[in-house]
Chains A and B, each alone.
Chain A
Amino acid sequence: MNKELAKNFASGHSACAGCAFPSIVRTILNESPDPVVVANATGCLEVTSTLYPYTAWKVPYIHNAFENASATISGVERAYKALKKKGKIAKDKKIKFVVFGGDGGTYDIGLQSLSGALERGHDFLYVVYDNGGYMNTGNQRSSATPYGANTETTPVGKNSFGKMDTRKNLMEIVNAHRIQYAAQGNVAYLNDLKKKAKKAFETPGPTFLSVFSPCTNNWKFPTSQYVNIAKLATETNFWPLYEIENGKHKINWATEKPKKVEEFLQTQGRFKHLFSEKNKPVLEQIQKMVDEEWQRLVNLTD
């Protein structure tokens, strides 16, 4: 085991072979200059890292419920401030607070507690690893599942091409709270993610990171491919890398000739049905949606 890399999150967890989130967790936590306390929403990360009697976490870790990870960290953060005021924690001792949630525990179930914690202005970092669905329970749709994806609750059939709704734009919802720093990252661009995590830790008040995290099991691709697929998502503009600092948008990665979104879609079994003659319009629709979203983002940077 690489002790330096695993100083916060160890080996021995039971995440699927070829899962993306261990790299996200390690990269982000290793950027923290101070000791951290982690709260975790229910999800793959929680289930796989805390198999009794073992825990992969070397840092204080709290799992409470699916919907209240942000509320939990709010309480911890306020307790820290109160104890500091009373002199029970040394004045110069700094502690960072981090929440990890999947897209189910963030986009859907935990949205109210995230919104509350952002509004109250607690000093914490929220990280959502976005794998586009409830992967822990077997690939049910979430509001982060992309348009056209085949999931257990949006199955493909005679009259269905998979999920028929567009995904929620959580970055806009978070930005509506006017927090100082929010950013979108990708597990394939770890250096970019490092910079963003560092910035988030340096910023006082609530900060937010949304990180792309491919799921080998339910997106249906070989276990060795998560980095390549995540890279394609950014190269096709499906998952742009950008940050919002004090309301100002900045794109971190762009190319003059983005690849066609098909190149990203064809790597995964959940989009296999889109490549039939019948579903050609859906494919065109996805390309149109990606182009529009990108254009909207570019307009925001001006």
Chain B
Amino acid sequence: MTQYENQKFEFEEGAVIKHDLDKAPKTGDWRYMTPKVDKDKCSGCSTCVSYCPEAAIELKKYKDEQKDKADIDYDFCKGCGVCSAVCPMKAIMMEKN
């Protein structure tokens, strides 16, 4: 018998926590340098994509160009600058916020 017997708690059952991106902290607010993709220089080689620790880079269609270009999700990008350092075309520049 406890004082909490009739109370309901909002713990998840069996301590199983389901992945839910809405609950994710938006790590974009850690950023003090922002990577900017120069879409004219970007060759769409996807080197930066797999090195990004946040998986924040995607190749997306840009205007009516044939090749997809790197596109950064600023919700999660922490601004570490890895993409800028690995880019073989020097197409990603780090700018102060």
Contact = CB atoms under 8 A, between A and B. Distances in A.
Interface stretch (A15-23, A82-90, A239-247, A288-296): A15-23
Interface in A20-67: 20, 22-23, 26-27, 50-58
A14 B53 CA distance: 10
Given A12-B24, A56-B19, A19 B76 contact: no
Interface stretch (A122-130, A163-171, A175-183, A221-229): A221-229
Given A14-B27, A225-B85, A5 B55 contact: yes
B3 to A, nearest CB: 24
A224 B85 contact: yes
Nearest to A9: B55
Listed residue (A17, A23, A50, A228) with the most chain B CB atoms within 10 angstroms of its CB: A17
Given A5-B49, A11-B56, A23-B51, 10 more contacts: A1-B75, A10-B24, A11-B24, A12-B21, A14-B27, A18-B80, A18-B81, A20-B53, A54-B20, A226-B82
B85 A10 contact: no
B58 A2 contact: yes
B28 to A, nearest CB: 10
Interface of B: 12, 17-21, 23-27, 30-31, 49-58, 73, 75-76, 78-82, 84-86, 94
Nearest first, the 9 closest Cβ-Cβ pairs linking A and B are: A12-B24, A224-B81, A18-B80, A17-B80, A17-B78, A11-B76, A6-B55, A223-B80, A224-B85
From DSSP, what is the main secondary structure of chain B's interface residues?
loop
Contacts of A226: 82
A254 interface: no
B82 A55 contact: no
A1 B50 contact: no
A190 interface: yes
Chain A, interface size: which category?
A: 35 or more
B53 A22 contact: yes
Given A18-B80, A224-B80, A226-B82, A11 B19 contact: no
From DSSP, what is the main secondary structure of chain A's interface residues?
loop
Contacts of A13: 27
Contact of B17 (A10, A15, A53): A53
Contacts of B57: 2
Interface of A: 1-2, 5-6, 9-20, 22-23, 26-27, 50-58, 190, 216, 222-228
Contacts of A22: 53-55
B1 to A, nearest CB: 29
A65 B79 CA distance: 32
A279 B92 CA distance: 39
B81 A2 contact: no
B70 to A, nearest CB: 10
A5 B51 CA distance: 11
B25 A14 contact: yes
Contacts of A10: 19, 21, 24, 55
